A and B are shown apart, each in its own frame.
Chain A
Amino acid sequence: MNTQAAQPLTDTVFALTLVLLLLAPLAIAGVALINTGLGRSRSAAQALLGNIGMIAIAAIVFALVGVAFTGNLPGTGGGAGHTFWLAGKPWNWAGAGPLLLGGLGTAAPLSQLALLFELLAVSMAVLIPWGSGADRLRLSAGLAIAAVLAAIVFPLLAHWVWAGGWLGQLGVNFSLGAGFLDGGGAATVHVLGGICALAVVWIAGPRQGKFPKEGLATAMPGHNAVYVVFGCLLALVGWLAWNVAGAVIWLHAPLAALPVTAVNTLLSAAGAVAATYTITRVRFGKPDASLCANGWLTGLVASCACAGVVKPIEAILIGLAAGVITPLLVEFFELALSIDDPSGAITVHAVGGLWGLLAAGVFASQPGQLVAQLVGIAALLGLVLPLVYLLFKLVDRFVPFRADQDGERIGMDLHELGGGAYPEFVIHRDDSYR
C-alpha cells in the first residue's frame, strides 16, 4: 500500500485511472443528494449548500496543510514520514511531505493519482457527518468540521493506511498478510465519516420533538424519496470508478483484475438491496424506499474494502449481510439508543465500512490478514473515535454545532439562508408528524 514502492505506471493505466478518478465525484454527488433527500424540506437548500461548502473547505485545507501529513508527495529530504521504533520495529505514524502541494508537478505519476484520490476521498468523508446533523447542524459548524477533518484526522489516517504508515506496513513488519487492506477507502473515508457522524449526533443532540417524554420516537421521514433513490444510482457510477481506481493505486492490481473489482462492487450493492428489500417487506408488509436506499449504500460501502480482494460469490454474501444489518441497526440506534441520525450514516458508513474491512480479512487467502484487519478496526474505534469526539467538542466551544430552537423550528433554510428551497411549499409544524 506504499505508492513510493510501486512499479511505474504505463501510459495506458495512468490514463485509465485518471478517467476513473474524474468519474468518482459522482459518488460524492450521490451522497449529497441522499443527505438532502433524507432531511426535511425546510432545510433542503442549506443541506445542499453545506455539501458544496464542506467539499470546498476540505479541498483547500487538505491541499494547503493536510497533504503534508499524508506523505504521498515526497519531501525534499526524501523521508516518507515520522517514525519511532518500538520493540525493534518501525512505527510510521505521520507523513512528512511538503506543505502547499509542493512537488506535485514533479512527483511520480502514481503519486499524483494518489493525491487526486485522497483529495476526492476527503471531500467524501466530510459529507457523511453533515447528513447526520441534518435539520439542526449550523452551516458554519459543518465548515469547521470539514476543516478539522481535512487538516488533521483524514491525513493521518490516510498515511497510516495508504502511504507507508504503520497499518499498511503490518504485513512487512509483523507478517500479517499484506498489511491492512483498504483499496476503496472503507476505513479512511466511510468509517471515519461514520465515526464523525456519531460524534456530531452526540454533541448536537436529537432534533426537536424527535424523542418525546413519553412514547416512541417520532417518525421524521425524508422529504424527497426521488433524490434519495436517484442519489443511489448516481453513487453506483462513482463507486465503480472509485473502487477500480483504488485497486490500481493502492493495491497495484493488474488490468485483468479490474473488471472483477467492478463486478464485485455491483454484486455487493445488489445483494444488500435485495436483503434490505426482503427484510423491510417482511417486517412492514411493504418495502421501505429510504431503508432500501440505505441498504444499497451499505453494500457499496462494504465493497470499498474488499471488492479488489474477494470472489464474486463472496461479494454477494458480503452484500447480503450488509443488507440484513442495515434496517435492523437503523431501527436499533433510533429506538433503543435514542440516536437521531436522519441519513443513517452511522449504520451505512461506520458499520458498513467496518463490516467490509472485516470481510476483507475473513475471505482473504493470506495468513494473518484477518488479524491485520482487526488491528485496523481497533485503531479506528479505539483511537480515531475518541480523537474525533474530543476535537469536535473543542470545535463546538468556538463554533456551536446546533442552531437555536427558533432556527430549528422555522427550518435551516430560512434561518441560515433567508429563503427556502421550495418557496411554494407549505411548511408543516412539528406536531403534524404525530
Chain B
Amino acid sequence: MKYAGLLVMVAGFFLSIAALVLFPALVQRGVFVVCGLGVEGLGLFVTVRAHMPARGESRS
C-alpha cells in the first residue's frame, strides 16, 4: 500500500500538469490543479496509513 499511495501522489501531480496544458482559462486551471492536489492528498493519506503500526501490534 505504501507504493500504491506514492503512485497515486504521482498521478495527482500529472493531473495538475495536465491542467496547465489542457485549460487556457485561469479558473478552470485553478480548479483542476486543486483536484490534482486532492488526489495527491489521497495518496499521502494511503501512504501515511500504510506506515502506521497496526492496532495491538508492538510499535517500537
List chain A positions with a Cβ less than 8 A from chain B.
86-87, 89, 170, 174-176, 202, 206-213, 337-338, 367-368, 370-371, 374-375, 377-379, 381-383, 385-386, 389-390
Contacts and interface: CB of A to CB of B under 8 A. Distances in A.
28 contacts: A87-B21, A175-B26, A176-B29, A202-B51, A206-B60, A208-B60, A209-B60, A210-B59, A211-B53, A211-B59, A337-B48, A338-B52, A338-B53, A338-B59, A371-B26, A378-B13, A378-B16, A378-B36, A378-B40, A379-B13, A381-B37, A381-B40, A382-B9, A382-B12, A382-B40, A383-B13, A386-B9, A389-B6
A92 to B, nearest CB: 14
Contacts of A374: 16, 30, 33-34, 37
Given A378-B12, A382-B11, 10 more contacts: A87-B21, A208-B60, A213-B56, A337-B48, A374-B33, A375-B20, A382-B12, A385-B6, A386-B6, A390-B6
A382 B10 contact: yes
B46 interface: no
Contact of B37 (A174, A210, A212, A378): A378
Contacts, number: 85
A234 B25 CA distance: 46
Contacts of B33: 371, 374-375, 378
Interface string B7-19: 1011111101100
A337 B11 CA distance: 24
A85 to B, nearest CB: 11
Contacts of A208: 60
B36 A382 contact: yes
Nearest to A367: B26
Contacts of A213: 56-59
Contacts of A86: 21
Contacts of B59: 206, 210-213, 338
3 nearest A-B residue pairs (beta carbon): A382-B13, A211-B59, A378-B16
A176 to B, nearest CB: 8
A386 B10 CA distance: 7
Nearest to A370: B30
A202 B30 CA distance: 32
A403 to B, nearest CB: 14
A302 to B, nearest CB: 19
A337 B45 CA distance: 10
A241 to B, nearest CB: 33
Select the residue from B16, B33, B60 with max chain A CB neighbours within 10 A: B60
Contacts of B12: 378, 381-382
